[in-house]
Amino acid sequence: MKFPLEKFEKIRTPFYYYDLSLLSDTLSSIKEATADLPNYHVHYAIKANANPRLLRQIASAGFGADCVSGGEIETALSSGFDASKIVFAGVGKSDWEINLGLDNNIACFNVESIPELEVINQLAAKKEKTANVAFRVNPNIDAHTHEKITTGLNENKFGIAMEDLHEAIGLACKMKNINYVGLHFHIGSQILDLDAYHALCQRVNDLQKQLESAGIKTQTINVGGGLGIDYEQPDANPIPDFQSYFGIFRKHLNLRSHQQLHFELGRSVVAQCGSLIARTLYIKKGHTKQFLIVDAGLTELIRPAMYGAVHATLNISAPKETPTEVYDVVGPICESSDVFAKAMPLPQSRRGDFIAFRSAGAYGETMASCYNCRQLPQSYFNMSNENLSPNDMDCSM
């Protein structure tokens, strides 16, 4: 990714910088990988990044939306996503959120408990509507990812245990305002071991046989998302291997001829097109280490503090021949966890140098906060690495 430093000089840091050309290429790659699979449907997981400019581009490419809150449903609708392509998940759907989905005739509620199913039925009855529901199943599969972003184990709060699924579907089929349509799975996030998806296919195949033996027919299978990206080498691998990802389901998932297969991709769609740009404030020399202090922190990119995540960190101001030094790269927030990287080799840096934290397009802007009374950063977009356009959303939100 190229960075127009001369234009960055005019912008207040920190800010998010998005390459919309890379986003376009990523969306095209997904569509190419599913071009001959008309029963495959991709929903973008809005929790990864809800920037309106990105959402409009994703919606205009024909993708659906995966939402986990009423606010995300509203955002999806205002950004051009078709309500008939919106699926709504989450363990704690409030009444107003359910009513919002019902009022807009969204495609499906991904239900995570029997009490939730009962509430959806009651609220749908009041509106004289029928709600399409899929049950989120906890398949107890280890996705071999960070403990804070795994979602498919029995110890996690998500979904219904497989042994309780027959009872849940039986109840749904007896409810007048519920239409059981399918099964929903999501086993985790930042999954790099694709064998986890192979295991998921086998689990779904076994479960389908059990349901069919009980006379239960399923219209849709939703396998969630979670496909990981290359945080270490974002330029070498800017677009995930979608062909291999979708190929696993093509090869190992035994879909029936009438069934539709749904995906909920987030990070793999937007992560690599975004970077967080900061300025170096100070170089602080300690007795045993030196700190490179920037004007961005966990308020703009919380993943390192929350998950111990590592983002490729570049001094994009330093000439190529600049000698290397080792720094702890830290932010200004009054928390000891406000550290981007420890013992990071970087070109010898100076006050005012631009530092780019790569692969920040997912869970950067969308998780930003105003802690320490900091202002939310603006976002800037580049279509051709030449024309830089400012954010078109209200930054006072």
Task: Divide the 397 residues of the chain into consecutive groups of 10 and give the mean pLDDT of each group.
Answer: 94 98 98 97 98 98 98 98 97 97 98 96 98 91 48 56 90 97 93 93 94 95 97 97 98 97 98 98 95 98 95 97 97 97 97 98 98 97 61 34
**For residue 385, what pLDDT is reported?**
45
Residue 361, SS3 per DSSP = coil
pLDDT of residue 384: 58
Beta strands in 46-159 (DSSP E): 64-67, 86-88, 108-111, 131-138
Inter-residue contact 101 to 114 (CB < 8 Å): no
Residue 172 to residue 210: CA distance in whole angstroms: 17
Does residue 269 sit in helix, strand or coil?
A: helix
pLDDT for the residue numbered 146 = 43
3-state helix, strand and coil shares in percent for the chain, rounded to the nearest 5: 30, 25, 45
- Nearest residue to 87 via CA among 203, 221, 254: 221
Specify whether the CB–CB gap between 125 and 176 falls below 8 A.
yes
Q: Tell me where in the chain the CATH 3.20.20.10 domain(s) lie.
A: 34-265
CATH superfamily of 34-265: Alanine racemase (3.20.20.10)
pLDDT at 343: 97
Per-residue model confidence as pLDDT tens digits over 211-225? 999 999 999 999 999
| Gap between the Cα atoms of 303 and 128, Å rounded | 44
Q: Is the peptide bond before 14 cis (omega within 30 degrees of 0)?
A: yes
Cβ atoms of 138 and 154 within 8 Å: the answer is yes
CA dihedral 215, 220, 221, 226 (to 10 degrees): -160
Q: Which residues, including other chains, have CB under 8 Å from residue 65's CB and lie 6 or more apart?
A: 43, 44, 46, 59, 72, 76, 81, 85, 86, 87
Question: Is the Cβ–Cβ distance between 109 and 88 less than 8 Å?
Answer: yes
Per the DSSP assignment, residues forming a β-bridge with 88 are 67, 109
Q: Are 76 and 69 in contact (CB under 8 A)?
A: no
pLDDT score recorded for residue 149: 42
Contact 338, 345 (CB under 8 A): no
Distance CA 397, CA 372 (A): 16
Output the CATH code of domain 5-15+272-390: 2.40.37.10
Tell me what pLDDT residue 163 has: 85
Q: Nearest-CA neighbor of 356 among 367, 373, 344?
A: 344
DSSP one-letter string for 322-339: PPEEEEEEE-SSSSTT-E
DSSP single-letter state for residue 369: -
The residue behind tokens 């830290």 is 330
Strands 324-330 and 274-285: unpaired
- Spatial separation of the C-alpha atoms in residues 183 and 219, rounded to whole Å: 9
- Please answer whether residues 130 and 177 qualify as being in contact, where contact means their C-beta atoms are separated by less than 8 angstroms: yes
- Res 162: pLDDT: 81
Name the segment(s) of the chain with CATH classification 2.40.37.10: 5-15+272-390
Q: What pLDDT shows up at residue 389?
A: 55
Which of 91, 87, 103 has its CA nearest to residue 45? 87
AA letter at 291: F
pTM (2 d.p.): 0.92
Q: Dihedral of the CA atoms 152, 154, 158, 163 (nearest 10)?
A: 100
- Element housing 315 (H / E): strand 313-315
Distance CA 208, CA 244 (A): 24
